[in-house]
Amino acid sequence: MIRQEIEELRGRALAAVAQAGSAAELESVRVQYFGKKGELTAVLKQMGGLSAEERPVIGALANEVRGEIEAALESASARVADAEMTARLEAERIDVTLPGTALQTGRRHPMQIVLDDVIKIFLGMGFSVAEGPEVETTYYVFDALNTGPDHPARDPQDTFYFDDETILRTQTSSVQIRVMEKQKPPIRVISPGRTYRKDEIDATHSAHFHQIEGLAVDRGITMGDLKGTLNTMMQGLYGSDVKLRFRPHHFPYTEPSAEVDLQCFACHGKGCPMCKYEGWIEMLGSGMVHPAVLERCGIDSSIYSGFAFGVGIERLTLMRYKINDMRLLYENDVRFLRQF
């Protein structure tokens, strides 16, 4: 009776293994026959009631059936694994001959392009680049630059104050002061960075803008060195036929001082809407460093002289790309930025 049960169990188990189509189904067959409550396990528990002569014969048959079923399970497991891998490869197949999705390449902001070019020009002339804090003290922004407490530029309506002695810098001249305090001549440095003034926002003004200032201090520095340096910068940005005009002006920290104008590209000095019919476009302020500024920084003005200038990166960019509204530089409009 028990021999017949084992033979029937063999047939059912092998048939179940052959029909299994997944690893989960094979595991279910294994548990059904070999688990603690499995069919083969239940049959083997009956061997205790067999005679001494039948027990080894039935034991050998049971081991044979177990081995046959285990071998079938192992073979079926390999077959199922191959089938599942084939199905997965088919489902996840990628056609490598299809064109890929093009990624948009980023590009530099027009102001960054101009700034990088200006820095490259000055590095070629032996200048170095210096940076300083945007939150400054009134000493570095005003006092050290001959701008006393009663100067209109120190009015809270013109400047962003944190307290009576802490402000957002209105120009990067504060970096020049810090450089002169720490470094003895010869000095050749440019200082690019963000600056802040309480200006109304329009096509040519913003409360937040960018400057690059230059400073050279050495023996025998003259106004001619300043003019030659600015000519080199403008020619590097706008071409060799650029023309500059120096107009006398007043700045507290330079003496003599000059405003620098660039001849209008559109009309070549004849007058047009772009230059407001003046033929020239104001670009920057400059001059020879005031002796009092040098002395305040510990530099002997009887031995050394220097020049300084400051120009807005926005203004240089507007002129270079013929942009008529500064606000376009800040709006992050991709349609505008893709042009550069």
Of 326, 332, 328, 329, residue with least CA distance to 204? 326
pLDDT the model gives residue 48: 62
Distance in angstroms (rounded) separating the CA atoms of residues 33 and 69 = 9
Q: How is the chain split into domains, by residue range?
A: 2-91, 110-337
pLDDT the model gives residue 46: 67
Report the alpha-carbon angle 69-73-79, nearest 5.
Answer: 145
Strand bridging mode 208-218 / 305-312? antiparallel
pLDDT the model gives residue 284: 95
CATH number corresponding to 110-337: 3.30.930.10
pLDDT the model gives residue 297: 96
- What H or E segment, with its residue span, contains residue 138? helix 138-141
Strand bridging mode 244-251 / 254-263? antiparallel
Distance in angstroms (rounded) separating the CA atoms of residues 139 and 267 = 43
Give the residue ranges of the chain where pLDDT is below 70. Answer: 1, 44-52
Q: CA torsion, points 62, 68, 71, 75, in degrees to nearest 10?
A: -140
Please give the order of strands across the beta sheet that includes 305-312.
128-129, 187-196, 208-218, 305-312, 280-289, 254-263, 244-251
Q: What is the pTM of this model?
A: 0.69
Are 188 and 125 within 8 A, CB to CB? yes
pLDDT the model gives residue 156: 81
Question: What's the distance, CA 93 to chain centroid?
Answer: 35
pLDDT the model gives residue 32: 77
User: What's the chain's length in residues?
Assistant: 340
As separate numbers, helices (DSSP H) first and strands (DSSP E) second, the chain gives 11, 10
Determine if residue 235 is left, alpha or beta; phi over 0 gives left, psi from -120 to 50 gives alpha, anything else beta: alpha
pLDDT the model gives residue 84: 83
